[in-house]
Amino acid sequence: MTILIHIKINDDIELCQLQREDAQDIYSTIDGERAFLGRWLPFVSFTQDIVDTQAYVDSIVNAPESSYEYVFTIRENGKFVGMIGLVRSDYNNKKTEIGYWMSEKSQHKGIMSRSVKALCRFAFEELHMNRIMIKCAVGNTASSNIPKRLGFTFEGIERQGELFPDGHFEDLEIYSLLKSEFISPNNL
Distance separating alpha carbons of residues 118 and 70, to the nearest angstrom: 13
Domains of the chain and CATH, by start: 6-182 (3.40.630.30)
Q: Is the pLDDT of residue 169 over 60?
A: yes
Query: CA–CA separation, 106 vs 120, rounded Å?
Result: 21
Q: For 124-135, write each residue's pLDDT tens digit.
A: 999 999 999 999
Tens of pLDDT, residues 83-92: 999 999 999 9
Does residue 185 have a pLDDT over 70?
A: no
For residue range 36-75, list pLDDT tens digits in order.
998 898 899 889 999 999 999 999 999 888 888 999 999 9
pLDDT on residue 183: 66
Q: How many helices (H) and strands (E) does the chain have?
A: 6, 8
CB-neighbour burial class of residue 64 (10 A; exposed 0-12, middle 13-18, buried 19+): exposed
Whether the Cβ atoms of residue 173 and residue 159 lie closer than 8 Å to each other: no
